[in-house]
Amino acid sequence: MMSQKGYRVSHLGRSKKSGAVPSFVWSVEKDQLDPEALREVDAIIHLAGASVADERWTEKRKRVIIESRTHSSALLFETLKRIPNQVKTFVSASAIGYYGFGFDKKDIATEATAPGEDFLSQVVVAWENEVSRISTLGIRLTLMRIGIVLSEKGGALLEMAAPIKLGVGSPLGTGNQLLPWIHLDDLCEIFIMALEDPNMNGTFNAVGPHPATNREMTKAIAKVLDKPLWLPPVPGFVLRIILGQMSEIVVNGRNVSSKKIEEAGYKFQFAELEPALKDLFKRT
């Protein structure tokens, strides 16, 4: 998408990639970053961070989740501070986990809402605190608190769809927990908007305007796939036994506002759930 708009894109990761864009390597663990990665770069999109849903949350895994975000952000800050560069814009991923979980649907989190007290809230607070140092370098900084990204390439949507395709899908927990979702295309366009709009400073919620409950999401997926949905919800205590503390991701929810990003001028391509699902599943 970026290349299609005429941008020259390069990739920075743990290993060199072969492909159409230049690729550079960094090692967060060794505090090493190829300085060539910053040559003639005007903007950085920072997405680094270990997945919160890939493994059970042992103490070791928790450290990986936090440090993959804070240490990578620190390395970028120190490198930008030390090496002459022309970077003027820095857009960083963040997460709606900042706000915590388990609130009434009428309690809507905005960018001004205080952080929660659970593990994911602690992760995001530490992450954002580290990223915020970038602004002291005279670089415009935008942080995107991202909701549940719906994509045909993987992630939550395919995980939820897998049992439904087999005829064994069901809501999780009470099914009433809110899931602030966003279509992948909208998320990409919001990141591009953050790169191009010099007035976009600070924090924005990257979520769609109409969050769905877990039950509504499950039913909508089943409808689009034309699959039956007859099993009762999976009880929360069962999920806690299977997933441990990580179950809070699926058992709890939070209503999160998209008002600020809309007031900044963004118009969602996929504001409603069913059209978003139809678009994504036709790509698979």
Q: What is the pLDDT of residues 200-253, one digit of tens each?
A: 999 999 999 999 999 999 999 999 999 998 877 776 766 576 657 656 766 778
Q: What value does the mean pLDDT of the chain take?
A: 91
Classify residue 28: in a domain, yes or no: no
Of the two residues 253 and 191, the one the predictor is more confident about is 191
Question: Residues 93-118: pLDDT tens digits?
Answer: 999 999 998 767 788 999 999 999 99
Percent of the chain with pLDDT over 90: 72
Report how far residue 149's alpha carbon sits from residue 174's, in angstroms, rounded to the nearest whole number: 22
Residue 16 domain flag = no
The answer to whether the pTM exceeds 0.75 is: yes
Residue 167 in any domain: the answer is yes
For residue 23, being part of any structural domain is answered with no
Provide the number of structural domains found in the chain. Answer: 1
pLDDT at residue 247 in the model? 62
Domain that holds residue 89: 41-281
78-101 exposure pattern, b = at least 16 Cβ within 10 A, e = fewer: ebbeeeebebebbbbbbbbbbbbb
Give CA angle at 170 (222, 160), nearest 5°: 65
Domain of residue 230, CATH code: 3.40.50.720
Residue 30 lies in a domain: no
Question: For helices 273-281 and 214-225, what crossing angle results, to 10°?
Answer: 40
Q: Is 24 part of any domain?
A: no
Is pLDDT of 15 > 70? Answer: yes
Report yes or no on 132 lying in a domain: yes
Q: Answer yes or no: is pLDDT of 153 > 80.
A: yes
